[in-house]
Amino acid sequence: MELEKFVDPMPIMKTAIPKKTSKDGDYYEIEMKEFSQKLHRDLNPTRLWGYDGQFPGPTIEVMRGKPARIKWMNNLPDTHFLPIDRSIHHVAHEPEVRTVVHLHGSETTPASDGYPEAWFTKDFAEVGSFFEQETYEYPNDQRAATLWYHDHAMGITRLNVYAGLSGLYIIRDPREEQLNLPKGEFDIPLLIQDRSFNDDGSLFYPAQPANPAPNLPNPSVLPFFVGDTILVNGKVWPYLQVEPRKYRFRILNGSNSRSYQLALDSEAPFYQIASDGGLLRRTVSLQAFDIRPAERIEAIIDFSKFEGQTITLKNNASTDATADVMQFQVVLPLSGEDTSIIPQNLSYIPSLQQNDVKRIRNLKISGTTDEYGRPLLLLNNKLWSDPVEEKPCLGTTEIWSFVNVTNVPHPMHIHLVQFQLLDHRAFNVELYNENGQIELVGPTIPPKINERGWKDTITAPAGQITRVIARFAPFSGYYVWHCHILEHEDYDMMRPFVVIDPKTEKERR
């Protein structure tokens, strides 16, 4: 089905309203439920799952230092409408519909982090082995940043997120006001995702890879999946009418597998001001930028010189219909003088390289096949169920080196922490595969200028060692690190790690 582009206005997600508020923080109740929503003018309403019955979910806005408590309530049907592979992660006897919410980028306790085995069913009737509490607590005691929340249930994350379970979470800080950035109605989220549709408007997600082997489970997990249609804020190829002035856009790649290289066909620059973990040191002017699954980039676009024009946000990583993302129509009259600015200097970011590095870990990204001949991507050649190996001590700093021997890049995400990228370095993959010896080849590749802030997701290119440095704090306990291509994460590119508090040395397994 070919859908006409730029015929629907781009919606902006509603802001969640606390059920209770006090000086000690806000309390929310957010319900996961099934509903239908019209995603394009020419599509029938699409069956979806979403938070508070909307796709994407409501934007949660909080102030730095003011805690938020959220009761995530599963009121979904007992059966899934997307194809579940029962052959992975020993989930054959677990409930078909399970959910657990991960606030991506949040510094929170393990009980509120969305551990994959902390899932729960409708009305908390059944819970996973790591389930601890019905209400999650988010301290918000971290830098202002654009975070996002999404489902993280073991073995079905790709399906639950594809069904619609994702939304934005924005931490604000009064100190940002002093920078005089675009704000209010000129501070807009852009949650970019891809989907495919059947002719009746329902979501299409394959039950098996193309040309499946005769003995392959049906349904079967896919090695990756990219849709043929791009959505922004839950609309297919929408348009946004803007004034000839500066806007701040909070851009999230919320796709399962697809990466984007974003550019404007007007050749106007993006002025990037923030990455995953908040403001950069200085504003970076870019003509285009790459954004992989789960990454966030905040950028200012100045439309003041494009009055009456139409600008298309392009995806230069594609040559088919998905080469277009959305359209900006600079047709609205100025509602008032634009007094916002694009600052040169933004924030102070101390280098973690000044810390005492307690350990350097080489973490292998590799691939093999399972008993059905399917691709099986692994971290350190371990399955999810293997014993935990990464055990940093609370408050210590470590360097994690992702050694990618596969032929594709992987967006690597570490829970609990915001880290800093040190560098990339090509290495002799053949020699490493023979005897584990690391022979570096070629020059060290420093971080791009727009990657020199705080990150929680970073690209580990094929045939390279990618080094990041992180301080493992402020909480101890069980967390996870994984590839954020959701099809990879589900099978089996995810591993637990535990932050050890040396005062208690408590471990849960």
| Architecture category of domain 352-499 in CATH | Sandwich (2.60)
Q: How confident is the model at residue 210 (pLDDT cuts 50, 70, 90)?
A: confident
- Is the distance from CB of 296 to CB of 276 less than 8 angstroms? yes
Residues 302-307: what's their mean pLDDT? 97
pLDDT score of 506 more than 70? no
Residues 431-443: what's their mean pLDDT? 95
Residues 284-301: what's their mean pLDDT? 98
pLDDT digits (tens, 9 = 90+) for 383-427: 999 999 999 999 999 999 999 999 999 999 999 999 999 999 999
Q: How confident is the model at residue 503 (pLDDT cuts 50, 70, 90)?
A: confident
Asked if 20-175 and 352-499 have one fold, the answer is yes
Asked whether the CA dihedral 26, 32, 38, 40 is positive or negative, the reply is positive
First to last CA, the chain: 50
pLDDT score of 508 more than 60? no
CATH number belonging to the domain at 20-175, selected among 2.60.40.420, 3.40.50.720, 3.90.1150.10, 3.90.79.10: 2.60.40.420
- Determine how many CB atoms are found less than 10 A away from the CB of residue 300: 23
Q: What is the pTM of this model?
A: 0.97
pLDDT score of 505 more than 90? no
Asked whether the CA dihedral 158, 105, 292, 261 is positive or negative, the reply is positive
Task: Transcribe 405-472 into DSSP letters.
Answer: -SSS-EEEEESS--BEEEEEEEB-HHHHHHH----B-S--BPPPGGGSS-BSEEEE-TTEEEEEEEE-
CATH superfamily, region 184-329: Cupredoxins -  blue copper proteins (2.60.40.420)
Looking at the chain, the whole-number percentage of residues with pLDDT higher than 70 is 99
Burial of 180-214, coded b for 16+ CB within 10 Å and e otherwise, reads ebbeeebbbbbbbbbbebeeebbbbbeebbeebee
More confident residue, 24 or 419: 419
pLDDT score of 155 more than 70? yes
CA angle at 506 for the pair 505 and 509, rounded to the nearest 5° = 125
pLDDT digits (tens, 9 = 90+) for 163-197: 999 999 999 999 888 999 999 999 999 999 999 99
pLDDT digits (tens, 9 = 90+) for 28-86: 999 999 999 999 999 999 999 999 999 999 999 999 999 999 999 999 999 999 999 99
Confidence at residue 509, expressed as pLDDT on a 0 to 100 scale? 39
Q: What is the 3-state secondary structure (H, E, C) of 355-381?
A: CCEEEEEEEEEEEEECCCCCEEEEECC
- Is the distance from CB of 33 to CB of 53 less than 8 angstroms? yes
Looking at the chain, the whole-number percentage of residues with pLDDT higher than 90 is 94
Cα atoms found within 13 Å of the Cα of residue 375, Cβ hemisphere only = 17
Q: How confident is the model at residue 213 (pLDDT cuts 50, 70, 90)?
A: confident
Q: Give the closest residue to 359 by CA, choosing from 408, 399, 416, 303.
A: 399
pLDDT digits (tens, 9 = 90+) for 354-378: 999 999 999 999 999 999 999 999 9
Quote the CA–CA distance of 173 and 180 in Å, as a whole number. Answer: 13
Residues 119-125: what's their mean pLDDT? 97
Confidence at residue 141, expressed as pLDDT on a 0 to 100 scale? 97
Distances (CA, A) of 154 to 110, 122, 148, 464: 16, 16, 19, 29
Quote the CA–CA distance of 61 and 53 in Å, as a whole number. Answer: 18
Quote the CA–CA distance of 80 and 48 in Å, as a whole number. Answer: 11
CA angle at 293 for the pair 287 and 298, rounded to the nearest 5° = 45
pLDDT score of 341 more than 90? yes
- Domain regions of the chain by residue span: 20-175, 184-329, 352-499
Q: Which two tokens stand for residue 489?
A: 């994460």
Q: Tell me the sheet residues that pair with 70.
A: 28, 136
Task: Transcribe 43-81 into DSSP letters.
Answer: SPPEEEEEETTBSSPPBEEEETT--EEEEEEE---SS-S
